[in-house]
Homo-oligomer: A and B are copies of this chain.
């Protein structure tokens, strides 16, 4: 089926009449002659222009009124120069790539901007040819979802698939993932697959690959390098360190957060340096990091979604907390203020939750820094009411961990014990 994503009205009509669709290589005769590839339109745009990716990598908009003639030189099907069969390179290690969707997986062909998912190792190697020099990539598509639609059930599916490879000969596993919730997925996998024998890198991209500034290829290359050279295990998020293309950061899966909506360096290790950096083609272990754990690998994939994140703020109505209690939730993670506080107006409802045996953990909406509930009267009151301080755990990670803890046991004391047990460097002491 011809692909027309983002085109409508006059421009859609124009493409159809000329039997041109997205991905086609074309010659366009207007003020001068342009040669390039027809691109999709990703934004609410007018219907007067079509977008052409020039050989330089830049995209231009051409007004259809000014186009005298458009000629197809090759169709989208033939653009990707697929090596019919990638020869296995015996000199490099093997990596498994699991694709879950997101910008990186659906538009990784940065020469064409085609929105189809990567389906085979061949297509991937064609679009990021540098990868073949680092590792033999076996690719497998799990699903194709933008990450705002990745649900806990998807996390479990990913964990089950990965679990099948615990005795494989792969050096590591790449998970191509949308960036929106990549850090939630990495947190879950860190708990469910703690001690997994080989390193796992979640990789995304912040810029659609149809842009000259796309970070997709460099993040993939950095991840492949990291996995084949890091000599450790654990779950990592591997992305640009900042706007600079020279440095790829490998963040521990339980200490990372997306802290900017659009920058390439959006992901940051909270309160510390990334665990590893890939710089000048070499993998550098951060000297400051000493928090790799060596748990025995015993996959625990179950989880329970009846867990709530409550961000306290002035005006927060305790009735909302009451609703959570009444809805059968098993755990509540507070994003308290400052060192871990919530208002006095919450106390009687908190007491009710404790009496019902609901686990309550305290984190801080400051995000960075440790909760300390012994400093002020409010904190001490909350400790007495049964709220458990969760050190410097990131609120989102505490949420995911409590889903996982309550999925694996219903016993309050065991839940509390799990929450305070450092399983995947989710807090420091």
Residues of A within 8 A of B (CB): 42-44, 146-152, 154-155, 178-181, 184-185, 208, 258-263, 266, 305-309, 311-315, 317, 319-320, 323-324, 327, 335-345, 364-372, 374-378, 380, 396, 399, 403
List of B residues within 8 angstroms of A377 by Cβ: 146
Instruction: Please tell me which one of the listed residues B263, B314, B369, B396 contacts residue A181 in the complex, with CB atoms under 8 A apart.
Output: B314
The 6 closest A-B pairs by CB, nearest first: A261-B369, A180-B337, A148-B341, A180-B338, A260-B369, A305-B315
A42, A43, A148, A152 pick with most chain B CB within 10 angstroms:
A148
Given A42-B376, A180-B338, A377-B146, A364-B261 contact (CB < 8 Å): yes
Instruction: Please tell me which one of the listed residues B151, B155, B335, B365 contacts residue A345 in the complex, with CB atoms under 8 A apart.
Output: B151
Instruction: Please tell me which one of the listed residues B180, B309, B313 contacts residue A399 in the complex, with CB atoms under 8 A apart.
Output: B313
List of B residues within 8 angstroms of A184 by Cβ: 313-314
- Copies per assembly: 2
Q: Are B146 and A378 neighbours in the complex by a CB distance under 8 Å?
A: yes
In the assembled complex, how far is the CB of residue A368 from the closest CB belonging to chain B, in whole angstroms? 5
Given A149-B343, A317-B305, A396-B313, A43-B366 contact (CB < 8 Å): no
Q: Are B320 and A179 neighbours in the complex by a CB distance under 8 Å?
A: no
Q: Are A339 and B44 neighbours in the complex by a CB distance under 8 Å?
A: no
Given A324-B320, A374-B44, A149-B259 contact (CB < 8 Å): no
Could you name 8 residue pairs across A and B whose Cβ atoms are closer than 8 Å? A43-B375, A147-B338, A151-B315, A259-B366, A259-B367, A260-B369, A305-B315, A320-B327
Considering the chains assembled together, what is the distance between the CA atoms of A42 and B37 in angstroms?
A: 68
In the assembled complex, how far is the CB of residue A43 from the closest CB belonging to chain B, in whole angstroms? 5
Q: Are B263 and A369 neighbours in the complex by a CB distance under 8 Å?
A: yes
In the assembled complex, how far is the CB of residue A296 from the closest CB belonging to chain B, in whole angstroms? 27
Q: Are B261 and A366 neighbours in the complex by a CB distance under 8 Å?
A: yes
Instruction: Please tell me which one of the listed residues B181, B261, B311 contacts residue A368 in the complex, with CB atoms under 8 A apart.
Output: B261
Given A327-B319, A338-B179, A341-B146, A152-B314 contact (CB < 8 Å): yes
List of B residues within 8 angstroms of A152 by Cβ: 314-315
List of B residues within 8 angstroms of A308 by Cβ: 320
List of B residues within 8 angstroms of A375 by Cβ: 42-43, 208
Q: Are B370 and A262 neighbours in the complex by a CB distance under 8 Å?
A: yes
List of B residues within 8 angstroms of A365 by Cβ: 258
Instruction: Please tell me which one of the listed residues B262, B320, B338 contacts residue A258 in the complex, with CB atoms under 8 A apart.
Output: B338
Q: Are B146 and A342 neighbours in the complex by a CB distance under 8 Å?
A: no
